[in-house]
A and B are shown apart, each in its own frame.
Chain A
Amino acid sequence: MATPLTPVITEHWDRPDLYTLDGYRAVGGYRALEKALRTDPDDIIAQVKDSGLRGRGGAGFPTGMKWSFVPQGDGKPHYLVVNADESEPGACKDIPIMMANPHALVEGVIITSFAIRANHAFIYIRGEVPNAIRKVEFAVKQAKEAGLIGTNIMGTGFDLEVVVHSGAGAYICGEETALLDSLEGYRGQPRLKPPFPAVAGLYASPTVINNVETIANIPYIVDRGVEWFRGFGTEKSPGFKVFAVSGHVKRPGIYEAPLGITMRELLDYAGGMRDGSQVKFWLPGGSSVPLLTAEHLDLPLTYEAMAEAGTMLGTGTPMVFDQTVSVVKAVTRWLEFYKHESCGKCTPCREGTYWITGVLEKFEHGHGQQSEMDTLVDLCGQISGRSFCALGDAAATPYPSALKYFREEFEAATHTSADEQFDPVASYVFAGVGAR
C-alpha cells in the first residue's frame, strides 16, 4: 500500500485566515505554548531529543541535541536565531510555510526560546521574499498584542523579544555562522568552528540556529507528544517532512508525508511525469546533494537511505528532470550559481568555483576536452573539505555525480554543445518561446 500523505504543518493551509492569530487558534494554535510554559525547560529539551527530530535545513543534525549543547546557568544571554534564508536551488518549502502558516513558526520560536532560556529571538529571512517577511512580521505583531511575546508571558515571568530581520541577497547567509556575521551587521562570511554557535554564537553568546521547518515542528511535538511523532518515519528519521516536488511532473507542489516515503510514491502524488516523459535524474534536496537516477526511485526518503545511496536528503525538496534536459547544462548552471555565491573567504572555494565553472562552460558549448573531465574531478577534490563551510563542498558535488551516471554526455560535449544535444525548447513547461 502506498504511504499515505500526512498533512501536519500543512493541514490547515486551505483556511484563508490561517495566517491570523484567530485562524491559527481556531485549529488548536498556541495550545502547545500554554503546555510548554507549564513544563520545565529541561523537559522540553528532553522531549525534543526523544522525538528524534532532525534539522530540516539540510544537514539533519538532531535538534534536541543541538539545544542541549547550550550551557545553562552560565549567566550569559542566550539567543535563538531562525534560519529563514531559504536559497538552496530547489528548496522551496520554508517560504511557503512562512506565507501560509507563520504562527506555527512563531509559536515554535516562543517554545524553543523558553526551552533554551533565550530572551531574544531573531528570524533571519532572505530579503528577496518580502511577502514571507511581512507575513511573519504580522504574526509576530499579533502574538505581541496577545501577550504571547513580550514581558511576563502568560504570567510565567518569561520575557521574550522577537525580531524579524531582512537579509539582502546572499546564499552564503544560509550557512549558520555566515548568517550570524550577517545578523551582526557584517559581510556574511562563515566563521571557523569550533567554537560552535551553541557556545559562542550571536554576539559571542550561546546561540541555537534552527531552520524554519524544524521550528515549525516544535508546537506539534509538544502538543501531541513524542510517541505520536515517532509514529511517523523511521527509527533514524522520525516524523514527517514538507516535501516540495518540482520539475517535469504533472503537479509540482507541496506534499507533506512521513519520512521514508519513496520518490516514486511522491511522484505518483504529483501526478507522475508530464506526458511522454521519463525521469532522467533527480535530486532529493537541493543542488548541493549528489544527483540520482530512475533506478533510485524506490529508495525511502530518509537521512540514512539517502546517505547509503551516496547522496543526502538535504532540504527534502526533490527536483525531477526528464529526458529533455542536458545534465551538462544543468550542472554548469549550478556551478555558475556557486561561483556567484562563494563569499570569497576561502581560496579553494573562491578560485575553485571560478575554474570549475570555466571548464564546465567549455563543455556546455561543446568545446570540452577529454582530459578536462579528469581535471574537473581533480578541481572538485581540491575544494571538498578545504573550506570553512559547506558551500565549497556543495560546489564540488554536482559534477562528480553527474559524471558517474552520464559520462557519455560529457564525452559528447567535447564536440557537440549541450543545446545541440538537447533542444532547450523541449524542456520548457510551456509550448515554445512565443508561448503566452
Chain B
Amino acid sequence: MPISDTTREQMREIAARYPSARSALLPMLHLAQSDEDEITTDGINACAEVLGITAAEVTAVATFYTMYKREKVGKHHIGVCINTMCGLLGGDAVWDAVVEATGGSHNAPTPDGEFFLERIECQAACTHAPVMTVDWEFMDDVTPGSAVEVLDKLRRGEQIESTRGPVIRDFEATEHTLAFPDDGLADAPSVDDKMLAGLRIAKEQGMQGGNA
C-alpha cells in the first residue's frame, strides 16, 4: 500500500515542529512504519520528498537504527532483553521459551506472521529483570511460563495490559505513538512497587529525606 496523502500531510506536520525540517526524519520514519508495518521504498521516498533530500540519504538513516524493520513485523513486536542482567537472571530461558512457542527466530517474523521476535538490548528496566516488551510496552519480571502465556493471550485476541503502561494495542499503534506521542494513553498506571521501594522504607522509618 503506498503512503497516503494523509500520511504525507502528517509528515509535514512533524517537520514543522523543528527549526530545521530534517530533524523530523526519525519520527517520520516511525510514522511510515506505522502505516506499512515496515520501512518500504515508498516510505523512504515519501520522507525524502517531504524533506527535499535524496532517498539514499533517508535509507542511510533508516538502516542505522534498529527499530526500523525491512520486513513486515506482523501484529505484535515481541522483545526479550538478553543483555547481561536480564539474560543471566532468566531472560535467556524466556527467549528459548518464546522461540519454542512460536517457531520464530531473532529479528524475523514468526512463521504465522503474528509476531516479530527480537533479542533486545537493555531496556532501562534492570530492576524488573527479566524484561520482555510487547510492541515496546513493558512486560516486567517475566518467566518462561508467563511470557508464553502473554503470547497465547495475544494470539487469542485477549486484552492484556503492560505491567507499567497501557493496554497493549499493536505494533503499528506504538509506531504511531512514536511519531505523535499525544496518544491519549498517559493515564495508564506506570509506577509499581519496585519504583516505590525506597520511598516506602523512608516513610515507614520516618526518614525526613529531602525536607530535613
Instruction: Please give the residue numbers on chain A whose beta carbons come within 8 Å of chain B beta carbons, in ascending order.
Output: 4-8, 10-11, 13-14, 16, 19, 77, 86-92, 94-96, 99-100, 120, 126-131, 133-138, 141, 163-171, 182-188, 203, 220, 224, 231-232, 240, 243-248, 251-257, 269-270, 287, 317, 319, 321, 325, 329-330, 333-334, 337, 340-341, 343, 424-425, 427-430, 433-436
Contacts and interface: CB of A to CB of B under 8 A. Distances in A.
Interface string B44-74: 0000000100000000110011111000000
Given A4-B202, A89-B84, 9 more contacts: A4-B209, A89-B121, A127-B65, A131-B138, A168-B29, A169-B66, A185-B24, A224-B210, A333-B84
B90 A185 contact: no
B16 to A, nearest CB: 11
Nearest to A271: B197
26 contacts: A5-B209, A7-B209, A7-B210, A86-B124, A87-B121, A90-B126, A92-B126, A95-B124, A95-B125, A99-B191, A100-B190, A130-B137, A131-B188, A133-B177, A134-B185, A186-B61, A224-B210, A252-B127, A255-B201, A256-B198, A334-B84, A424-B88, A424-B93, A429-B90, A430-B90, A435-B144
A427 B89 contact: yes
B126 A317 contact: yes
A167 B181 CA distance: 12
Contacts, number: 288
Nearest to B189: A16
A92 B89 CA distance: 16
Contacts of A92: 124-128
Interface string B163-175: 0111000000010
A11 B209 contact: yes
B41 interface: no
B196 A8 contact: no
B10 interface: no
B157 interface: no
B195 A96 contact: yes
B65 A429 contact: no
Contacts of A99: 164, 190-191, 195
Interface of B: 17-20, 22-27, 29-30, 51, 60-61, 64-68, 79, 82-85, 87-90, 92-93, 96-97, 120-130, 133, 136-138, 143-146, 149, 162, 164-166, 174, 177-179, 181-183, 185-186, 188-191, 193-203, 205, 207-212
A168 B199 contact: no
The interface centre, meaning the residue of A11, A90, A92, A224 with most chain B CB atoms within 10 A of its CB, is: A92
Nearest to A6: B209
A428 B194 contact: no
A433 B144 contact: yes
